[in-house]
Amino acid sequence: MPTAATSTGWLIPHYTMFSRIAGFGIRWDITPHWMVRADYERHQGTFILSTRENRDPGRMALS
């Protein structure tokens, strides 16, 4: 079965394009016009940055 790494001639590393996200959210309607919402998400894996929003990844600051 081809992977992203093998189908691109190993130009994309094998550890990319893996993501597991679990989330939990709650909502409380105080009145018909007011609500309170909260959510928690746990991310594991690598995340894909779109080139549409990040045209030059080399300029991104790593912190």
Segment 3-45, tens digit of pLDDT: 555 665 667 666 667 778 899 999 999 999 999 999 999 988 7
Domain assignment of residue 4, yes or no:
no
Residue 24 lies in a domain: yes
37 domain-assigned: yes
Q: From CA 25, how far away is CA 37, in angstroms rounded? A: 7
Please give the model's pTM, rounded to 2 decimal places. 0.44
Residue at 10 is within a domain: no
Per the model's pLDDT, the better-predicted residue between 20 and 53 turns out to be: 20
State how many domains the chain has: 1
Q: Could you give the 3-state DSSP secondary structure of residue 42?
A: strand
